[in-house]
Chains A and B, each alone.
Chain A
Amino acid sequence: AQSVSQHNHHVILSEAASLELGCNYSYGGTVNLFWYVQYPGQHLQLLLKYFSGDPLVKGIKGFEAEFIKSKFSFNLRKPSVQWSDTAEYFCAVNARTGNQFYFGTGTSLTVIP
């Protein structure tokens, strides 16, 4: 079965620390890749997406992600986090077969002022 793994379930960082959240998927075919953020009590917002081209994708709020096809990974990074980045972060994969859209289990990020 296809799957999306986010190994970091809960990350706690101090402000200005660097962030990297892992995302690995198991599907071997063509995929589109996404990172969504969900602030407390709010809806899912798209941070960034990869469809094709440059594997280093820039998103909103200073986030970026790198698609490494050989590692089936799409890790999210931010050089310096802020308290306002406290949220749930979900990786998602849109696989060609049956247009399946798989979410990872999510990573809860807490940034301490």
Chain B
Amino acid sequence: DTEVTQTPKHLVMGMTNKKSLKCEQHMGHRAMYWYKQKAKKPPELMFVYSYEKLSINESVPSRFSPECPNSSLLNLHLHALQPEDSALYLCASSRGVGISRGNRTFGSGTRLTVV
């Protein structure tokens, strides 16, 4: 069982919908991440939160909006997505952002389909 919990596991949404992906961890990790993964490709970093503050945004379109309400929760708000945004969205966490603390634990992911 993964210690990073993501909900929902599957999501189908239309291009005009607004939905949110949720991620939760209770390991006391202070860094949390969103990744996007296409089939048979490595995960691509989208956002990094460190101590509940956004520290890295990898030039992600504004139709993806992250939110970190507290140290255990990370949300990804979706609005006006395109079919090419269909992918597996992975959440990860690590103890911190220093190299010795950067080992990431990944969640099971949310498989998103945009129709």
Task: Report A's interface with B, CB cutoff 8 A.
Answer: 30-32, 34, 36, 42-46, 49, 51, 88, 90, 94-96, 99, 101, 103-106, 108
Contact = CB atoms under 8 A, between A and B. Distances in A.
A88 B99 contact: no
A106 B42 contact: yes
B42 A90 contact: yes
Contacts of A101: 45, 102, 104
- Grouping DSSP codes into helix (H, G, I), strand (E, B) and loop, the B interface class, with mixed when no group exceeds half, is loop
Contacts of A103: 42-43
B42 A105 contact: yes
B99 A94 contact: yes
A60 to B, nearest CB: 14
B81 interface: no
5 contacts: A94-B102, A99-B99, A101-B102, A105-B42, A108-B40
Nearest to A31: B99
A51 B99 CA distance: 9
Nearest to A103: B42
B42 A104 contact: yes
A33 to B, nearest CB: 11
A43 B99 contact: no
B2 A43 contact: yes
B40 A106 contact: yes
A25 B108 CA distance: 27
Contacts of B104: 101
Interface in B67-115: 90, 97-100, 102-109
B31 to A, nearest CB: 8
A99 B2 contact: no
B42 to A, nearest CB: 4
